[in-house]
Amino acid sequence: MQDTYQSLILPDVQLMLREGDVAGLAAFCNVVHPAAVAEILDELEDDQIWPILDQAELPVRVEIFEYMSLRRQIGLVEQLDPAKLSELFEWMSADDRVDLLSRMPQHRREDVLRLIARAERNDIRKLLSYDEDSAGAIMTTEYASLPANISVREALDQLRLQAPNSETIYYVYIISEDRRLEGFISLRELILARPDARLSDIMQRDVIRFKVSEQREVVAQEMGRYNFIALPIVDANDRLVGIVTHDDAMDVVQEEATEDAYLQSAVAPLDDTYEDTPLLTILWKRGIWLLFLSIVALMNARVIDHYRSSTSDAPQIVQHKTELATLILLFLPLVMASGGNAGSQSATLFIRMFALQPTDSKGRADGLIDRSLILREFTIGFALGVTLASLDFFVAFVFFGLSFAEAAAIATTVVVVVILGTSAGTLLPLGLRRSGMDPAIMSNPLIAAMIDILAVVIFYEIATQYLT
289 shares its domain with 435: yes
35 shares its domain with 182: no
* Closest C-alpha among 152, 202, 146 to residue 175: 146
More confident residue, 347 or 394: 394
User: Is the pLDDT confidence value at 185 over 90?
Assistant: yes
125 shares its domain with 156: no
- E strand residue ranges, 80-148: 143-146
217 shares its domain with 306: no
303 shares its domain with 413: yes
> Is residue 263 domain-resident?
no
Arithmetic mean of pLDDT, 393-415: 89
Q: For the chain, what is the domain count? A: 3
332 shares its domain with 378: yes
Confidence grade of residue 301 (pLDDT, cut at 50, 70, 90): low
Residue ending a domain, among 129, 153, 180, is 129
For the sheet with 210-211, list strands across it. Answer: 210-211, 230-234, 240-245
Q: Tell me the average pLDDT of the chain.
A: 82
Position 272 scores a pLDDT of 67
Residue ending a domain, among 65, 99, 129, is 129
Helices (H), 312-403: 315-318, 324-356, 366-394
**Rounded-to-integer distance, Cα 133 and Cα 141, Å:** 17
Confidence grade of residue 145 (pLDDT, cut at 50, 70, 90): very high
More confident residue, 110 or 229: 229
Position 318 scores a pLDDT of 45
Confidence grade of residue 310 (pLDDT, cut at 50, 70, 90): low
C-beta contacts of 286-289 below 8 A and 24+ residues apart: 289/443, 289/445
Position 447 scores a pLDDT of 81
Please, are residues 212 and 135 in contact by the beta-carbon 8 Å criterion? yes
Q: Name the pairing type of β-strands 210-211 and 230-234.
A: parallel
Count of CB atoms situated within 10 Å of the CB of 122: 12
245 shares its domain with 378: no
Position 233 scores a pLDDT of 94
CA dihedral 426, 429, 431, 437 (to 10 degrees): -170
Confidence grade of residue 114 (pLDDT, cut at 50, 70, 90): confident
Q: Kindly report the CATH number assigned to the domain that includes residue 88.
A: 1.25.60.10
> Is residue 209 domain-resident?
yes
444 shares its domain with 322: yes
Confidence grade of residue 319 (pLDDT, cut at 50, 70, 90): very low
User: Is the pLDDT confidence value at 298 over 50?
Assistant: yes
> Is residue 272 domain-resident?
no
Position 356 scores a pLDDT of 67
> Is residue 171 domain-resident?
yes
> Is residue 347 domain-resident?
yes
Q: Kindly report the CATH number assigned to the domain that includes residue 182.
A: 3.10.580.10
436 shares its domain with 361: yes
381 shares its domain with 252: no
317 shares its domain with 461: yes
The predicted-structure confidence for 196-209, as pLDDT tens digits, reads as follows: 999 999 999 989 99
> Is residue 269 domain-resident?
no
Position 184 scores a pLDDT of 94
**Rounded-to-integer distance, Cα 239 and Cα 232, Å:** 10
Residue ending a domain, among 129, 163, 192, is 129
Q: In this structure, which amino acid lies at residue 184?
A: F
> Is residue 212 domain-resident?
yes
300 shares its domain with 449: yes
**Rounded-to-integer distance, Cα 132 and Cα 108, Å:** 20
Print the domain residue range for 191.
Answer: 143-257
> Is residue 271 domain-resident?
no
Calculate the alpha carbon distances from 432 to 202, 210, 256, 370, 428 in Å: 45, 24, 16, 13, 6
